């Protein structure tokens, strides 16, 4: 058996409101993480590469390093952050739905 609550009536306006809050928060998390990824990948790897090349990491110019490795590493970390944030959001959403089902919301 699943530990998620039974789905309350989908036509209930409280459920529709909870679903709307869930997706609004999900999209805002995605937007922030995509901006961070774009800044790391495009900004550090392309736009600011010349100024970053003044420093080196392991003998490799920092701008080149960000273009080749850094943006990939940032992407992997952002996937982890997204998974953690969405686990928390899902847990809160299921608690909200359970409260609606119990008539507490």
Each residue's pLDDT tens digit, 21-60 = 999 999 999 999 999 998 888 887 778 888 888 998 888 8
Check residues 5 and 64 and name the one with the higher pLDDT.
64
Number of domains in the chain: 1
Tokens 């600011």, located at residue: 48
Residue 3 maps to a domain: no
Residue 4 has pLDDT above 60, yes or no: no
Share of the chain above pLDDT 70, in %: 89
Q: DSSP label at 66?
A: I
Confirm whether 96 is domain-assigned.
yes
Q: Round to whole Å and give the CA distance between 9 and 13.
A: 9
Q: Domain of 19? A: 13-102
Residue 56 — φ and ψ, nearest 5°?
-130, 155
Residue 88 is assigned to a structural domain of this protein: yes
Strand partners, 60: 57
Helix (H, G, I), strand (E, B) or coil at 56: strand
Q: Residue 1 — very low, low, confident or very high, per pLDDT cuts 50/70/90?
A: very low
């Amino acid at each position: 058996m699943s530990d998620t609550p039974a789905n309350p009536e989908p036509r209930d306006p409280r459920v529709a409101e909870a679903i709307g809050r869930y997706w609004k928060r999900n999209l805002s998390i995605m937007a922030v993480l995509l901006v961070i990824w774009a800044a790391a990948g495009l900004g550090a790897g392309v736009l600011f590469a010349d100024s970053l090349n003044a420093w080196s990491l392991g003998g490799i110019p920092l701008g080149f390093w960000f273009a080749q490795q850094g943006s990939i590493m940032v992407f992997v970390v952002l996937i982890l952050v997204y998974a953690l944030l969405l686990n928390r959001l899902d847990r809160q959403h299921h608690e909200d739905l359970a409260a609606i089902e119990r008539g507490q919301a």
